[in-house]
Amino acid sequence: MSQETKATNKNTTKADEQKKAQTQTKKEKRADKKKQQEKKYVRRLIPIWAKVLIIIVLSLFALMIGLIVGFSILGDGSPLDVLKWETWQHIIDFVKE
């Protein structure tokens, strides 16, 4: 082999060794990141059960507002009459007959 070929082979082996060292460090970095993420405990500001409860309450509130607006504007009734049981009983009887 000529000296140029030997020098080229040495350069390629050095480059291969450097690539292996870089990949090992990348793998180690990933492992360190995973360990840090596993140790990290996230405390939520608002717990999930509270979020669900808030969504339910807001949905009921929006339903009531929609009923009041619809009954008073479209039905020409008193806005708060929609919240009375007698009104709903009348609607149920009307639908059944």
Give 1-44 pLDDT, tens digit per residue: 555 555 556 566 766 666 666 666 777 777 777 766 666 677 77
* Mean predicted lDDT score pLDDT of the chain: 79
pTM above 0.75, yes or no: no
Is 67 in contact with 81 (CB distance < 8 Å)?
Answer: no
- Helix intervals (H) in the chain: 3-39, 48-69, 85-96
> Exposed, middle or buried: residue 79 (CB in 10 Å: 0-12, 13-18, 19+)?
middle
CA distance 96 to 75: 19
Token pair belonging to 2: 């000529």
- Contact in structure between 87 and 70 (CB atoms under 8 Å): no
Please give the average per-residue pLDDT across 83-89, as a whole number: 89
